[in-house]
Structure 1
């Protein structure tokens, strides 16, 4: 008899817990808006694929999830990204997963979304706001430090180096740049930083133009270069190739593309700091859904960062990072 009572009590507790989760979401489909900084770079495609993987897994497990993917056309269009956030808030989506273009400008719309009952998980770049559910991203400062260590190693601890920055207000790249400079100054005092204040802008074209200007000024002196994201790395690589200096200047970039892999095999790029954007998109969506289901979520989730060089390029773990299954989720 007592055993039967224990069983009935346990079943009642399970039913109550399940009921709490159902009441939290009202048993309805959850609509999650995923808002990247842009949509053209491979990085954002990987985040999109990871978000779709999470949606499919959660749906298989009984949660009906809809993912809406929408970002600004340009990665420097703060106003458009703000409008996208405000639009989804007005539509009454259940949650937002956002990679903010600007760590301050996007704070107000995120706080307004929270006031309207729409929570936000931040991915990729930090936001200066306490109104977020969680921050799911790379340890960007560590990524910049890895870049400095690779370049310092390549140069034997001495030489002249350029840092080409990305864009003001981009918290992720600002952290990488800060980590790079911190590590360089602390560990490689005999390396001279001859340019650290130039910004590339949001596109490969702007990055190439900025790179050409830097190479025109410092091309005869520079021995090492670090770039903190995909577009800056692509622009600098193209500029170096155009003047026949690709491979002659030690060059470490950030993020990945097939162009970068080919350049590394050709000894024109000597290292890339690689994030896991697929995992970022995946964990961003899962974290939001868990929050909506009433579960406790971590305030900071590190999605990992790795240095890839010609020496570990062909390793299985490296290839998995370089070639996430985009076609499986985006076609």
Structure 2
């Protein structure tokens, strides 16, 4: 299975690189009839955002539009993202697609774009303004509830659990945690023994997990609420030789997470569909440019994937989005 994962990784990286190069070449063609859509994500780093970008470029090719992509490297660099949005507005792009880095801070720039008649599509996260044409995202509260129910199930609905979230201030992180806690409360024999925040730092997640397990040796499982936290927790459980005795409930599906699941270190993960988010963001941006009516809020379903069903065809399409 691990050979298959390595093969998928190699194929994915090859396809992704060739795909983006071809899109860049297409964007260099001076064609005034093509709409120009600015894509500004939270960060240029990471599998999740890269897959959103890949979905957006797939839609751009299909609908014959140009993507002007740029993003901060650091997802916490809110000021840089605001600057990028303002630059896109000054360039008079036909539409904006944003993966906002802060629930409140981007509102002013978004409202400025809206006033200038530039459609705004928000992808993956919410924003504190109604001046958007559509918001395309995972229902993070419901995803958190799914994680809580699965977490309870894999420990037999009794025991102690730890939580490692990735940010105290991030809206998605807050909603996932709220949903998680609401689900755990349904199981009176499941107790939260510890909770920490790694601030999307894998090394910190790893150290926090080791500390949590050392201070609470009776913990039965840890739930991690994004891919960075998940990788750090899984590494700690693996190195401490606690495979099987400490269950890991993960979020998302990086190649490293898939490898840990294949090894039996991660028991289950909540998988989003970032490729679909990116694809639909371009489709609805174009619909907005053409003054078509679109839904104000679109939730993309998340799915629970376990080790024993991770290679089913319908799950491979989520884990490896280049598979058709």
Task: Say whether the 8 Å CA contact 1:200–1:232 is kept in structure 2.
Answer: yes
1:150 and 2:150 aligned? yes
Task: Say whether the 8 Å CA contact 2:103–2:127 is kept in structure 1.
Answer: yes
1:275 and 2:265 aligned? no
- 1:244 is aligned to 241
- 1:206 is aligned to 204
- 1:297 is aligned to 294
Alignment of 1:89-168 (within 5 A): 89-168=89-168
Gaps of 5+ in 2: 1-31
Aligned equivalents of 1:168 and 1:90: distance in 2? Answer: 33
Gaps of 5+ in 1: 1-26, 60-64
Aligned equivalents of 1:202 and 1:263: distance in 2? Answer: 19
1:190 is displaced (CA, Å) by 1.1
Closer/same/farther in 2, CA of residues 33 and 216 from structure 1, 3 Å limit: farther
- Deviation string 1:30-66 (CA, Å, 9 cap, x unpaired) is 111111111221111111110011111111xxxxx11
- Deviation string 1:199-224 (CA, Å, 9 cap, x unpaired) is 11123233323333333432x12111
Corresponding residue SS for 1:163:
strand
Closer/same/farther in 2, CA of residues 153 and 31 from structure 1, 3 Å limit: same
1:90 is displaced (CA, Å) by 1.8
Corresponding residue SS for 2:165:
coil
- 2:21 is aligned to none
1:253 is displaced (CA, Å) by 0.5
Aligned equivalents of 1:206 and 1:297: distance in 2? Answer: 41
1:51 and 2:56 aligned? yes
Stretch deviating more after TM superposition (246-255 or 208-217): 208-217
Decide which of 310, 315, 318 is 1:313's aligned counterpart: 310
Stretch deviating more after TM superposition (34-43 or 313-322): 34-43
Corresponding residue SS for 1:311:
helix
- 2:193 is aligned to 194
Corresponding residue SS for 2:75:
coil
Max radius of gyration: which structure?
1
- 2:320 is aligned to 323
- 2:15 is aligned to none
Q: Cα RMSD over matched residues?
A: 1.7
Task: Say whether the 8 Å CA contact 2:233–2:248 is kept in structure 1.
Answer: no
1:93 is displaced (CA, Å) by 1.2
- 1:37 is aligned to 42
Task: Say whether the 8 Å CA contact 1:37–1:101 is kept in structure 2.
Answer: yes
Aligned length: 293
Aligned equivalents of 1:70 and 1:144: distance in 2? Answer: 30
- Deviation string 1:90-134 (CA, Å, 9 cap, x unpaired) is 222111111111111121221122223322111111111111111
Aligned equivalents of 2:233 and 2:176: distance in 1? Answer: 17
1:235 and 2:232 aligned? yes
Corresponding residue SS for 1:189:
coil
Aligned equivalents of 2:149 and 2:300: distance in 1? Answer: 21
1:78 is displaced (CA, Å) by 1.6
* TM superposition score normalised by structure 2: 0.86
Task: Say whether the 8 Å CA contact 2:309–2:315 is kept in structure 1.
Answer: yes
- Deviation string 1:217-258 (CA, Å, 9 cap, x unpaired) is 32x121111111111111111222222224321110100012
Closer/same/farther in 2, CA of residues 239 and 29 from structure 1, 3 Å limit: same
